[in-house]
Amino acid sequence: STRCCVTVSPVFPPPAATSSDEEDDSDSSTKPIRSEKKKNPASLFQTGGDPPKEKKTKKKAPPRAAESEEETPETPQKNSNKKGKGKKSKKPKEERPPSPIIEVDNLEEFVLRPAQQGVTVKCRVTRDKKGMDRGLYPTYYLHLDNDKKVFLLAGRKRKKSKTSNYLISIDPTDLSRGGENFIGKLRSNLMGTKFTVFDNGVNPDKANADWSNVRQELSAVVYETNVLGFKGPRKMTVIIPGMNADNERVPIRPRNDNDGLLMRWQNKNMDNMIELHNKAPVWNDETQSYVLNFHGRVTHASVKNFQIVHGSDPDYIVMQFGRVADDAFTMDYNYPLCAVQAFAIALSSFDGKLACE
């Protein structure tokens, strides 16, 4: 069985092309690099744009003072899940804690609203392959990873689309494009290596006079191969809109296909945009695999496991995703991502061209 390397990322070429090895997904090796000065994560994502206020994202993020305390106590922990180092046995209990109390009052508003600063939203993605064409068009469900298992989003690939096209809905049973539960979509290029995430606005061709109903681009994801092709750790670039002074997402509403996040990024026009990358895993000779520290939230080796960080502060995990069972994954996200952005980025990693289970 070809078992893919433990994690995804830029690879410093391995000792040999043995990447499609073993188990230990969670990590034992990496020494956390503590940056001495405590940064305020909010400042990493702020860009100039002070656009007109959006209707959908009225709620402001809470005051900026709430720094990302959550992450800090965990960082030095080296939980490798498989190789029990006796004295650490206590830690996993707190390390796979449920999501903090998160109020999902209005689902549609919640899934588009950036995570509260200082709070990691911990979720679980399940893949349902039941049904006639289950292998090709599974449905993916996103729930809060807590006792109540609050449903957030569902996603499924459209069947008659030339490129990979996933619809994202706030109703687990209605995944139609026309329904009122349609909240966003993920679309790939023909190669299946670049993806764009849209909200539920309309195509620019159907714009009203002031463009206020035109869809926003919420994120773009670019996958690059490395020397081992997609068999080794993948290299991901994630482009998201920046945040304004009120900690609200700057709306990016391209008027045509030549003006989206991907085109702007390719043309190095990064106004009001933030570029993120996945954290490079480290080759571990002992396990003969690439490892990353997921603090007990990921337990199975998979090429799909990744952590997304900002180049200026690799300790602040914007998002992480990884396998915990054959068809179950954890997905945790922090400010400035919202659930739709994080879920769509996770869906992109399942796509066929990249598949390597």
Each residue's pLDDT tens digit, 71-83: 333 333 333 333 3
pLDDT of residue 208: 86
CA dist., res. 243 & res. 142, Å (int): 25
pLDDT of residue 273: 95
pLDDT of residue 232: 62
Which residue in 325, 322, 321, 356 sits closest to 339, CA to CA? Answer: 321
pLDDT of residue 210: 83
CA dist., res. 74 & res. 15, Å (int): 30
Q: Are 197 and 218 in contact (CB under 8 A)?
A: yes
pLDDT of residue 212: 83
pLDDT of residue 175: 82
pLDDT of residue 124: 96
Task: Classify 53 in phi/psi space as left (phi over 0), alpha (psi -120 to 50) or beta.
Answer: beta
State residue 125 phi and psi, 5-degree precision.
-110, 130
Low-confidence ranges of the chain (pLDDT < 70): 1-39, 48-100, 131-135, 225-233, 352-357
- Cα–Cα separations (whole angstroms), residue 273 to 52, 233, 268: 17, 26, 10
Which residue is it, tokens 């000065």?
A: 37
